[in-house]
């Protein structure tokens, strides 16, 4: 039940994230799914982090002399996964836990290896391959201010146990019932907070509540540059309440040549959450996604 509830929550969170940014579906413009070249067609969801990752894939493949076409900003997971299945696109970045939850809400997985095994089993019959996942991920993280961390010697979520009754937790309304929320924090970590303040999902309201002292602990997302920009301390999920949401290339088997796989796996080997946060910050400041991708690739020798 824990995993099913978790995956339902992940799918809902992902759907909200995917629909948060506007933009048309490039696949809907002419309805033509025919292939006019042997190029690898790289797609993305319709939010900036996905577009950034897809651009990194695209530019790295081009740097390796591989022909590429881009169809970015496609839309929600329901749309882009169908595009992957029907051959409208060949490759896109995904989040391993979110994707598994979409494919099988009853899947039981608590680490990267088991998620990968189940993804491979579910996608192989459709001619789709998952490659190496990156260290970089975008998942829930409990954060505190440096003062709160120092005052209570907080490093892990478990460290909250003796003092949770004195602290206010800020997060989204759905955390009242989601296992990845108050129920899981109580069952897995034994945490009962003084108060749960219903705000937003890792957004500006939660950040403001932490900064002005209305809350001492908040739910944010691990690749959010606001964590680093504001010097917040992310607490280690030492008992694994939040399943992995690592970035992973998903590609049609027909396009997954050894050369393509080497390029994409090379990206996965280098991409960290810190890198992702830094690049997301650049995007938030208005920098060009293509230039950001090229600078990261150059810095990593890719």
The residue among 139 and 69 whose pLDDT is bigger is 69
Tell me which of 1 and 265 has the higher pLDDT: 265
Give whole-number Cα distances, 299 to 161, 176, 267, 293, in Å: 41, 43, 12, 10
What is the C-alpha to C-alpha distance for residues 24 and 83, in angstroms, rounded to an integer? 15
At 117, which helix (H) or strand (E)?
helix 112-123
Tell me what pLDDT residue 35 has.
Answer: 52
Residue bearing the bigger pLDDT, 20 or 260: 260
Token digits of residue 142? 């409990």
Question: What average pLDDT does this structure show over 217-224?
Answer: 90
pLDDT digits (tens, 9 = 90+) for 31-57: 444 555 789 999 998 888 899 999 999
Give the pLDDT mean for 119-135.
Answer: 96
What is the average pLDDT across 115-126? 95
**pLDDT (tens digit per residue) in 161-201:** 999 999 999 998 878 987 778 999 999 999 999 999 999 87
**Is residue 138's pLDDT more than 80?**
yes
Average of per-residue pLDDT across 156-165: 98
Q: If we measure between CA atoms, which residue out of 137, 188, 179 comes closest to residue 160?
A: 188
Query: Which are the contacts of 118, defined by CB distance < 8 A and separation ≥ 6?
Result: 100, 104, 107, 109
Backbone angles phi, psi at 202, to 5 degrees: 65, 25
Q: What is the pLDDT of residue 2?
A: 42
Q: pLDDT value at position 46? A: 85
Evaluate if residue 217 carries a pLDDT over 90. yes
Q: Over 70: is that where the pLDDT of 127 sits?
A: yes
Confidence of residue 22 (pLDDT cuts 50, 70, 90): very low
Q: Is the separation of the CB atoms in 263 and 60 below 8 Å?
A: yes
Give CA separation, 38 vs 200, 254, 301, in Å: 44, 10, 26
Tokens describing residue 37: 């070249």
Specify the range with the lowest mean pLDDT, choosing from 73-87, 95-109, 110-124, 188-202. Answer: 95-109
Query: Taking phi first (over 0 means left), then psi (-120 to 50 degrees means alpha), and beta for anything else, what does residue 189 get?
Result: alpha
- Of residues 55 and 105, more confidence is placed in 55
- Please name the helix (run of DSSP H) or strand (run of DSSP E) that holds residue 218, with its range, or none: strand 217-221
Q: Which domains, from first to last, does the chain contain?
A: 2-137+244-299 (3.40.190.10), 140-234 (3.40.190.120)
What are the distances in angstroms from CA 114 to CA 108, 111, 195? 8, 6, 35
> Quick one: what percent of the chain has pLDDT higher than 90?
65
pLDDT of residue 19: 36
- Give the strand order in the sheet containing 40-43: 68-71, 40-43, 91-95, 247-252, 128-130
């Amino acid at each position: 039940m824990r995993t099913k509830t978790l995956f339902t929550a992940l799918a809902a969170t992902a759907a909200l994230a995917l629909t948060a940014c506007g933009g048309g579906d490039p696949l809907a413009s002419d309805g033509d799914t025919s292939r006019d070249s042997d190029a690898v067609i790289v797609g993305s969801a319709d939010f900036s982090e996905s577009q950034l990752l897809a651009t990194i894939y695209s530019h790295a493949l081009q740097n390796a002399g591989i022909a590429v076409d881009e169809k970015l900003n496609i839309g929600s997971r329901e749309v882009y996964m169908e595009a992957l299945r029907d051959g409208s696109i060949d490759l896109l970045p995904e989040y391993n836990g979110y994707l598994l939850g979409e494919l099988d809400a009853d899947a039981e997985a608590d680490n990267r290896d088991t998620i990968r095994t189940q993804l491979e089993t579910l996608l192989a019959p459709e001619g789709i391959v998952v490659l190496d996942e990156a260290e970089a991920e975008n998942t829930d993280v409990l954060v505190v201010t440096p003062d709160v961390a120092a005052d209570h010697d907080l490093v892990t979520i478990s460290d909250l146990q003796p003092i949770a009754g004195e602290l206010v937790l800020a997060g989204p309304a759905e955390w009242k019932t989601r296992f990845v929320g108050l129920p899981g924090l109580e069952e897995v970590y034994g945490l009962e907070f003084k108060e749960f303040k219903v705000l937003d999902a890792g957004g500006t309201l939660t950040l403001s509540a932490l900064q002005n002292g209305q809350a001492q602990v908040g739910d944010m997302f691990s690749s959010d540059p606001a964590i680093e920009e504001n010097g917040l301390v992310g607490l280690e999920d030492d008992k694994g309440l939040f399943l992995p949401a690592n970035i992973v290339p998903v590609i049609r088997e027909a396009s997954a040549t050894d050369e393509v796989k080497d390029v994409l796996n090379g990206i996965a080997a280098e991409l960290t959450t810190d890198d992702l946060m830094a690049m997301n910050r650049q995007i938030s400041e208005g920098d060009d996604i293509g230039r950001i991708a090229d600078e990261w690739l150059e810095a990593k020798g890719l």
